[in-house]
Amino acid sequence: MIEGVLLKGYGGFYYVYAEDRVWECSLRGRFRIKDQDFLPGDRVRILPEGNNKARIEGAEPRLNSLTRPSIANVDQALLVFALTSPKPDLNLLDRLLIQVTCSEIEPLIIFTKLDKYLTEAPPDDSLAKSSIPDIYRRIGYTVFEVSNKTGIGITELRKCLEEKISVLAGPSGAGKSSLFNALSDGKQLKTGEISQKSQRGRHTTRHVELMVCAGGLVADTPGFSSLFLPKMKREDLATYFPEFDEHRNHCRFSSCLHDKEPDCAIKAAQENGEISGTRYDHYRIFLQEVIAAERRY
Ligand SMILES: Nc1nc2c(ncn2[C@@H]2O[C@H](COP(=O)(O)OP(=O)(O)OP(=O)(O)O)[C@@H](O)[C@H]2O)c(=O)[nH]1
Ligand SMILES: [Mg+2]
Ligand SMILES: [Zn+2]
């Protein structure tokens, strides 16, 4: 019996990565009824039956699972945004950070198209003083600036993927698929049949799959442009803004929601530049959404 990770289910088979190979697996009888219970990322035990074929004999309990995309045991989410073309949608990034943190998955922020950004004239808006990646670095997030074209920053990022299950998420056109290709560097492990099938299906089907990439397993996903916040109480929203932590206890009211209350330390920190203006704006927008959603329950 060997242990592996389920990459995908396709055409009645399950493809499992174990011992540096992909195995085409069928299910043992008693599992067949629970077919839909398996997700990419599930840790399974397989019994080889020769010629890269095997049978799934058992599965380990999941540590976590995401619903969009449906993947189990995710270690980290790579939140991919272009520095330019399209301009990064920071409202969406801040939503994703909340969603990922809420699922207890580690976020990594990846800004792409650094090559293009560097050749453009610097924008003379207020953000130029503190670059967008720096806003997130200062908060304490792990941030990479890369070019999928020239390869700047790719080697450093690759190290973070080793032995981990990672998902790529972000808006359409941000460079997720290009990043996946840059990270795999032609070393993506393929078995003929699987790559043919997935190539045919890649842009048309919605099935999720993990792929061997940079010493780990990575799932590319289709881009999206809107995202609901997870269900939460209004007073919990601020906990998803780590940069508020050191100020939160200095508001006049202990119940302060940092919106329109007087003597709010968060607002003061935003005014003196310690907290980013866009982050505070998004906090207030999200607060209204959380309050509106509370009423519906
Ligand atoms: N100059 C430059 N262009 C890039 C870079 N990364 C991606 N692109 C281009 O940006 C466009 C979109 O890239 P994709 O990788 O398809 O974006 P995606 O995030 O996978 O988009 P969806 O699959 O629609 O969600 C393509 O034309 C890429 O060639 C980069 O680092 N630099
Ligand atoms: Mg893509
Ligand atoms: Zn306050």
Residue 234 token pair? 């209004």
User: What residue ranges line ligand 1, CB within 6 angstroms?
Assistant: 112-113, 115-116, 147-149, 172-178, 222-223
Residue 2 has pLDDT above 80, yes or no: yes
- What is the predicted pLDDT for the residue at 25? 95
pLDDT band (50, 70, 90) for residue 121: confident
Q: What atom of ligand 1 comes closest to residue 148's alpha carbon?
A: 31
| Residue-level pLDDT at 159 | 96
Q: How far is the CA of 177 from the centre of ligand 1 (A)?
A: 7
- Rounded Cα–Cα distance for residues 182 and 154 (Å): 7
The pLDDT value recorded for residue 173 is 95
Q: Which residues surround ligand 3, an ion (CB under 5 A)?
A: 251, 256, 258, 264, 266
How large is the greatest C-alpha to C-alpha distance in the chain, in angstroms? 71
Domain ends where: 59, 78, 96? 59
* 157 within domain boundaries: yes
The answer to whether the annotation marks 247 as part of a ligand binding site is: no
pLDDT above 70 (res 14):
yes
Closest protein CA for atom 30 of ligand 1 = 113
Q: Which atom of ligand 1 is nearest to the CA of 146?
A: 31
Q: Using an 8 Å Cβ cutoff, are 207 and 222 in contact?
A: no
| 181-233 per-position pLDDT tens digit | 999 976 554 433 333 334 443 443 457 899 999 999 999 998 988 899 999 99
What is the model's pLDDT at position 31? 63
Q: Which of 219, 251, 277 is the last residue of a domain?
A: 219
User: Based on the domain organization, do 76 and 210 belong to the same domain?
Assistant: yes
Is 220 annotated for ligand binding? no
* Residue 171 assigned ligand-binding role: yes
Whether 125 shows a pLDDT value over 70: the answer reads no
Q: Parallel, antiparallel, or unpaired for β 2-10 and 21-27?
A: unpaired
At residue 96, the pLDDT reads: 96
For the CA atoms of 251, 253, 259, 264, the dihedral, rounded to the nearest 10 degrees, stands at -20
Give bridge partners of residue 47 from the DSSP assignment. 55
In the chain, % of residues over pLDDT 90: 76
- Mean of pLDDT values over 97-113: 96
Our count of domains for the chain comes to 3
Instruction: Please tell me the distance between residue 255's alpha carbon and the centre of ligand 3 in angstroms.
Output: 8
Q: What is the CATH number of the domain that holds 282?
A: 1.10.40.50
Which ligand has its closest atom nearest to the C-alpha of 171? 1
Average pLDDT over residues 174-179: 96
Q: Kindly report the average pLDDT of the chain as a whole number.
A: 89
Rounded Cα distance between 48 and 55, Å, is 6
Q: Are residues 35 and 160 in the same domain?
A: no
The per-residue pLDDT for 19 is 94
Same domain assignment for residues 209 and 83: yes
Predicted confidence (pLDDT) per residue in 52-100, tens digit: 999 999 899 999 888 778 899 999 999 999 999 999 999 999 999 999 9
In this structure, the answer to whether residues 134 and 186 fall within a common structural domain is yes
For position 230, what pLDDT does the model report? Answer: 93
Q: Is 264 annotated as a binding residue?
A: yes
> Can you tell me the mean pLDDT for 148-159?
97
Q: Residue 93 and residue 170: Cα distance in Å, rounded? A: 8
Ligand 1 atom nearest 181 alpha carbon: 15
Supply the range of the domain harboring residue 89: 65-219
Last residue of a domain, one of 26, 41, 59: 59
Do 174 and 84 sit in the same domain of this protein?
Answer: yes
Q: Are residues 213 and 239 in the same domain?
A: no
Residue located nearest, by CA, to atom 22 of ligand 1:
172
Q: Are residues 97 and 182 in the same domain?
A: yes
Residues 102 and 71 in one domain: yes
Report CA(43)–ligand 1 centroid distance (Å): 31
Closest CA to 195 of 33, 19, 24: 24
Residue 155 and residue 174 in one domain? yes
* Whole-number pLDDT of residue 124: 63
Question: Is residue 28 pLDDT above 80, yes or no?
Answer: no
User: Is the per-residue pLDDT at 141 higher than 70?
Assistant: yes
Long-range Cβ contacts of 237-242 (<8 Å, 24+ apart)? 237/283, 237/286, 237/287, 237/290, 238/266, 238/283, 240/97, 240/98, 240/101, 240/102, 241/279, 241/283, 242/139, 242/140
Q: How far, in Å, is the centroid of ligand 3 from the Cα of 241?
A: 13
Residue 54 marked as a ligand binder: no
18 is in an annotated binding site: no
Question: From the alpha carbon of 174, which atom of ligand 1 is closest?
Answer: 19
Q: Does residue 7 share a domain with residue 113?
A: no
- Please indicate whether residue 195 or residue 276 has the higher confidence score (pLDDT): 276
**Are residues 95 and 211 part of one domain?**
yes
> Are 115 and 244 found together in one domain?
no
Q: Band of the pLDDT at 292, cuts 50, 70, 90? A: very high
